[in-house]
């Protein structure tokens, strides 16, 4: 059974595979807004190499709260060290996880590509020559002038709508 760290997507985005959690620590600050710190230590393959990596997540519960995930440190280890540290522990990632992550990334890139193609063919506002932007309304997407006190809008063609929705 894979362990399923909740940082799996971060690890995959750092090109890690055959990831094994070897340490996990959670701290909560007693004072103030109780900032939570989660540390996780993993060993993994990275390309042809082996690495040991620390991740640090800060979760701020205050009024300006937020979550910050950072890669704390990474060092190269030997295959022997990897095998020793990971021995008897479950892998976090499966072939399927890696495949899904790769597909999601590719889909994201494809959509971004189509969206920038759409922006490149945006019409100009007839009043002030600004490049119009896609805007979502009650009846779907349309072109709107980005200038706040200009209310010019224009319908999108079927082809433009397809690009907006991620279809060619």
Applying CB under 5 A, the residues found at the interface with Zn ion are 125, 127-128, 145, 147, 150, 152
Instruction: For the CB of residue 120, give the shortest distance to Zn ion in the complex, in Å.
Output: 19
Per-residue tokens: 124: 């100009």
- Closest to Zn ion by CB, 84 vs 153, is 153
DSSP-assigned beta bridge partners for residue 45: 17, 50
Instruction: For the CB of residue 122, give the shortest distance to Zn ion in the complex, in Å.
Output: 12
How many residues does the structure list for the chain? 168
DSSP-assigned beta bridge partners for residue 131: 124
Cβ atoms 62, 32 nearer than 8 A? yes
Distance of CA 160 to the CA centre of its chain: 26
Instruction: For the CB of residue 128, give the shortest distance to Zn ion in the complex, in Å.
Output: 4
- Closest to Zn ion by CB, 55 vs 125, is 125
Query: Dihedrals φ, ψ of 41, to 5°?
Result: -115, 130
- Closest to Zn ion by CB, 133 vs 152, is 152
Distance CA 73, CA 56 (A): 9
Instruction: For the CB of residue 156, give the shortest distance to Zn ion in the complex, in Å.
Output: 16
Per-residue tokens: 107: 């889909």
- Closest to Zn ion by CB, 55 vs 144, is 144
Residue with tokens 């019409």: 123
- Closest to Zn ion by CB, 61 vs 127, is 127
CA dist list (Å): 69 to 9, 25, 37, 58, 107: 11, 14, 10, 7, 24
Instruction: For the CB of residue 16, give the shortest distance to Zn ion in the complex, in Å.
Output: 48
């Amino acid at each position: 059974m894979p362990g399923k760290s909740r940082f799996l997507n971060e690890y995959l985005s750092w090109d890690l595979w055959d990831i094994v959690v070897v340490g996990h620590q959670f701290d909560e600050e007693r004072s103030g807004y109780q900032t939570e710190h989660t540390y996780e230590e993993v060993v993994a393959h990275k390309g042809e190499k082996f690495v040991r990596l620390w991740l640090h997540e800060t979760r701020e519960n205050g009024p300006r709260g937020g979550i910050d995930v950072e890669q704390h440190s990474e060092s190269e280890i030997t295959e022997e060290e990897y095998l020793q540290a990971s021995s008897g522990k479950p892998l976090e990632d499966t072939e399927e996880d890696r495949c899904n992550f790769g597909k999601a990334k590719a889909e994201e890139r494809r959509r971004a590509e189509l969206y920038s193609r759409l922006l490149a063919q945006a019409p100009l506002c007839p009043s002030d020559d600004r490049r119009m932007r896609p805007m979502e309304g009650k009846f779907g997407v349309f072109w709107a002038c980005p200038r706040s006190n200009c209310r010019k809008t224009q319908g999108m063609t079927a082809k433009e709508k397809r690009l907006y929705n991620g279809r060619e």
